[in-house]
């Protein structure tokens, strides 16, 4: 049985943090469209340069380019049993394309899990976020600090702030979320797939609710 899960929510709502925790619970890979785009940073192609410029402005990458990148990732072997999709789909056309893609792959969407947080919390979480550029682990200076300040617990790399986490870009990312991604909430509610999660709680308190929501959806089929 394939288990494709979507994690929906505003910037900083904890999609990446929870996806990493769900990997062990569900046994399927974490596929983040943002991570796929960031990994293209080293590619010296017009498309890769354009994508980095769009991300730096906090805008959305066009659907056609997004679909090409995500489709290629979904066709890799480790995604045969399913995946936790983080940050994709982000527009209604992307959601419609995902339906077609899953039909081709013989997959089924089990749930769209919406992580609800307030706009103030978006700012608090993103301003304190630190990431390890080497192994991509994500921390928060107060809520999820590394053992030694600014050093990754996993690989001892120096932690950095993401370049699109500066306040002006975060405002634009939130605006884009409200105008282009929030319509997916009704889209997935209408499809009977939406599960709303109170994500204003501690990281450890949220994961069991996500696991339970997914398991009940998978068991129901």
Annotation marks residue 49 as catalytic:
no
Q: Is 73 in the site for ligand AP5 (CB under 6 A)?
A: no
Q: Which segment (5-13, 21-29, 105-113, 210-218) binds ligand AP5 by CB under 6 A?
A: 5-13
Least distance in Å: CB of 28 to ligand AP5? 17
Contact string 121-140 vs ligand AP5 (x = CB under 6 A)? ----x--xx--------xxx
Contact string 95-124 vs ligand AP5 (x = CB under 6 A)? ------------------------------
d(CA 111, CA 32): 16
The packing angle between helices 167-176 and 46-57, to 10°, is 100
5, 8, 17, 95: residue in contact with ligand AP5 (rule CB under 6 A): 17
Q: Which segment (54-62, 104-112, 183-191, 213-221) binds ligand AP5 by CB under 6 A?
A: 54-62
Q: Is 58 in the site for ligand AP5 (CB under 6 A)?
A: yes
């Amino acid at each position: 049985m394939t288990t494709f899960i979507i994690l929906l929510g505003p910037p900083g709502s904890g999609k990446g943090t929870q996806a990493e925790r769900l990997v062990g619970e569900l046994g399927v890979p974490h596929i983040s469209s943002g991570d796929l785009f960031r990994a293209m940073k080293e590619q010296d192609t017009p498309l890769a340069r354009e994508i980095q410029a769009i991300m730096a402005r906090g805008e959305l990458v066009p659907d056609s380019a997004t679909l090409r990148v995500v489709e290629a990732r979904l066709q890799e072997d480790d995604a045969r049993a399913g995946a936790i999709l983080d940050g994709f789909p982000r527009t209604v056309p992307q959601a419609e394309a995902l339906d077609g893609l899953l039909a081709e792959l013989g997959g089924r969407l089990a749930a769209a899990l919406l992580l609800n947080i307030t706009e103030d919390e978006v700012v608090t979480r993103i301003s304190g976020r630190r990431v390890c550029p080497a192994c991509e682990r994500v921390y928060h200076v107060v809520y999820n600090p590394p053992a030694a300040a600014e050093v990754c617990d996993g690989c001892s790399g120096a932690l950095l702030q993401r370049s699109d986490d500066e306040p002006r870009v975060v405002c634009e990312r939130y605006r884009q979320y409200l105008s282009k991604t929030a319509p997916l909430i009704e889209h997935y509610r209408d499809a009977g797939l939406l599960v709303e999660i109170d994500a204003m709680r501690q990281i450890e308190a949220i994961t069991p609710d996500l696991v339970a929501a997914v398991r009940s959806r998978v068991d129901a089929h």
